[in-house]
Structure 1
Amino acid sequence: MIIEATGLRKSYGSTEVLQGIDLGVQEGSVLALLGPNGAGKTTTVRILATLTRPDAGVATIAGYDVVREPTKVRGVISLTGQYAAVDDNQTGLENLVMVGRLMHLGQAAAIRRAHELIERFDLVTAMNRRAKTYSGGMMRRLDLAMSLVARPRVIFLDEPTTGLDPASRLTMWDAIGELVRDGTTILLTTQYLEEADRLADRIVLLDGGRITASGTADALKTQVGGERIELYFTDEPTAQAATELLGGHHEGQLLNLPSNGSADHLWQVLDQLRDNGLSPARVSSHRPTLDDVFLTLTAARPSSAEIGSRPALIA
């Protein structure tokens, strides 16, 4: 494990933010930390990135203790926050060269590395423009490029695609995927559930300073229930009759029926309904999503505004 943590605890005054966190991340993989506001995600990242000292517990990055050997830890990690750490008045190229010089690369090596990253993140046509003229997506790509100048083994990404349009988000996802294929380890916090589903090898769900669930996205989805068929009828008495025939659970005109997800089972259900003179107005098959996992395994309850915009579920 390139990242290991055991029994991490942290309190601020009387508020216990972390209550014994255990983590392990394989090298060359992506771990996503999910959880509601105040769950402890940011505190966990800050401890692992040597920015906050834990009250108890031990954490190591690439074998280096984050408390006793912070300088060595910082030599193998990079942290990219929610907001781009870019100098707006410098060009993209100048920003990257500046970071290289701060990392003690020679002038020629810093310029060479800057050009490598500019090409990798598709910033060639904009490299001589001031960063303040960049779009949000370009700014985030430049920010991520700056975090890679020193070729870190571990990158902490704190909500890397917040505020980006869908096209820019997909570009960032591709860039992150390429980093992992090259062997980089990524610990990701995100407010987009589909981002964790797309990128993460494993997901850890934090709630109230504790880990409430962990595993692959598929394993977590299975944990909250299997697939189901949703049958919508034009009136409640018909839905009730269908429930008595098939089982499941109905609310009003909607019947939820457990399913193995096969087409055969769906056809059997429809045949049974037809043979008994019951006809649904609408049929759909539903597999649990990370939204279902999040809402089931945490105490979070979205407001009406959040229901209309899923990304607001996690901070």
Structure 2
Amino acid sequence: MTTVTEADAFEGLRDALGLLKDREQVAERLLDSSAKHSFDPDKELDWDAPDVEGMWYWPPELCSLYDTPMWKRMPQEQRIELSKYEAASMASMGVWFEIILMQLLVRHIYDKSLTSSHVRYALTEIADECRHSMMFARMIKRSVGESFPMPRVHHNLGRVLKTISTTPGSFAATLLGEEIIDWMQRMTFPDERVQPLVRGITRIHVIEEARHVRYAREELRRQMVKCGPAEAAYTRIVCGEAARVIYTAFHNPAAYERAGLDPKEALAQVKASGHRREIMQTGAKRLTDFLDDIGVMRGVGRRLWKSSGLLA
């Protein structure tokens, strides 16, 4: 009797993007990249250098209030201060999400072969995320002192997600948490208007996160091909609801308050801002196109994405 391995089960399968890649080969390439392009933020970055006066902490065009009436009334110093608090707020969100991601990855590999390259890469990614979380936390403490906790309802939704999410739901949510911020960071690290430390942090994160995105995309493709209709429908709903949470998390009222602004008015202007809507949808477009191609953006899930503000 022939034993069918997990790798055999995916052999020859394809989706709208083409033939699925071999899981072990993908992992081996990612492990090789990790060996060549991994960083220790404690050693790579100059944490003791003072901030440069007059420089931004986040590109102004990526600040949520950019080009709103409130932004136009703010003096330049307050705009820069807002960029500092928004950068710290997004870093806080990043740590929250990476802690969830690490738990999802541990659940994913729990029943898999510990000697496989697929599992070894997952453990490598977890190590990356540990360093990223410490890097972001150190940046937050250095720049603003205290982090920006997620609203309690979202904090508890994260607890639910990491406990009951299916495998395709986990990887869909992973991409959602990674790809929008990755797009923003790709605009940040080359921007010479931005503080050198922030540019260094975003550069490290972009380089290492590219591997994480590749791993998640390839695995989500496999899972969507293999899962049944009920699990696919559930994945679409989970992903759509996660989009709504993530969009909200990008706009923490406490960041506006700590920058000396009325948080209610700020949130209202963000909601009405065509520029902000375009930024968020552009940041999500590469992901939404991919999810559409592999069948995640359908039915209720697509409607949830539209209501989130991340899909035109």
Q: Same fold (TM over 0.5)?
A: no
The TM-score bracket by the shorter chain reads under 0.3
In our comparison, the structure showing a higher alpha carbon Rg is 1
Q: Of Structure 1 and Structure 2, which has the larger fraction of its residues in helix? A: 2
TM-score normalised per structure 1: 0.26
Q: Of Structure 1 and Structure 2, which has the larger fraction of its residues in strand? A: 1
TM-score normalised per structure 2: 0.26
